[in-house]
Amino acid sequence: MAHPHPSVPARRRTVHRPSPLAQEESRCVPAPRTPPLGPGLPRRRGGPAAARATAAGNATAVTRSGDTFTVAIDAADRSGTLWIKAGNHAVTGAFTVTATGLTLPAGTPVTAGGPIPQANWKVVSVDSQETAAESGAAANAIDGNSATIWHTQWSTTATPLPHEIQLDLCARYSVDSLTCLPRQDGSVNGRIGGYEIYVSDSTGNWGTPVATGTFADTGAAKAVNFTPKNGRYVRLRALDEAGNRGPWTSAAEITATGTPVP
């Protein structure tokens, strides 16, 4: 089963979330009335995310003592925006940022989307599934078992591409990512190549896709992050087979992340 995204708390002045696997803190830093900033300024404390840090932009060096990072900043950089990013680390606690020589405005807590519970999901629609020659029902893609697969029909006349599966999350979410785990049984047939992802409150009006692209022809989980969209239903369209081996589509698991909304 694909790895879920952790619930990633963050604090920032300006809301800007690039992905559910990342957290950032943006603070508008006014020009200080004290001497220019030098080494030993903003310090970041955190739990698991405080494993490593690198300097970028006007941050010229980073030193670490336990879970505290001390960042040296170019003295000429007296004002602007301070960004702190936790990358793809699983963070369970909020950032703490302090500075010498100036006051940081309070940020607004923001919680990134976590895994959407799969237990109550339902398959609303699927254009094709193989249930005669193998157990390839669409429901296998949301059963929490990476050993089972959804596979489109192949034993008689193969259903032509594109293929699609529509899922009911059984509640409204602000959905911000979808992960597709290809089949893990040793076969490569049906791996999704080109894809489209939709989120909607209605299966009768999907609108434009929230994400499009092409998956690599590998067995690794494929996570797609996108601008959050509210909805109860998710639609995954497979436009072609990753290796052009035939008109099939298969998937071991489909998961998503988001936050509940009214």
Residue identified by tokens 């259903």 is: 159
Please provide residue 51's backbone torsions phi and psi, each rounded to the nearest 5 degrees. -90, -30
pLDDT tens for 191-211 read 999 999 999 999 999 999 999
Residue 126 has pLDDT above 60, yes or no: yes
When pLDDT is averaged across residues 114-132 and rounded to a whole number, the result is 96
Band of pLDDT at residue 13, cut at 50, 70 and 90: very low
Instruction: Show the tokens assigned to 190.
Output: 């049906």
CA dist 35 and 154 (Å) reads 73
Residue 164 has pLDDT above 90, yes or no: yes
The answer to whether residues 10 and 24 touch, using CB atoms and an 8 Å cutoff, is yes
CA dist 126 and 4 (Å) reads 24
- Who contacts 188 (Cβ-Cβ below 8 Å, separation ≥6)? 217, 219, 243, 245
Pairing of strands 108-111, 96-98: unpaired
Q: What is the pTM of this model?
A: 0.62
Band of pLDDT at residue 23, cut at 50, 70 and 90: very low
pLDDT tens for 69-109 read 676 666 666 555 555 555 544 444 555 666 666 666 666 55
- What is the longest distance spanned by two Cα atoms in the chain? 78
Residue 212 has pLDDT above 70, yes or no: yes
When pLDDT is averaged across residues 149-171 and rounded to a whole number, the result is 97
The answer to whether residues 198 and 227 touch, using CB atoms and an 8 Å cutoff, is no
DSSP letters along the chain, please?
-PPPPPP-EEEESS-----TT--EEEEEEPPPSSSPP-SS--EEE-STTTT-----TTEEEEEEETTEEEEEE-TT--SEEEEEE-TT----S--EEE-SSS-PPP-EEEE--EEPP-TT-EEEEES--B-SSS-B-GGGGGSS-TTS-EE---SSSPPPSPEEEEEEEEEEEEEEEEEEE---SS--TT-B-EEEEEEES-TT---S-SEEEE--SSSS-EEEEEEEEEEEEEEEEE-SBTT--SS--EESEEEEEEEE--
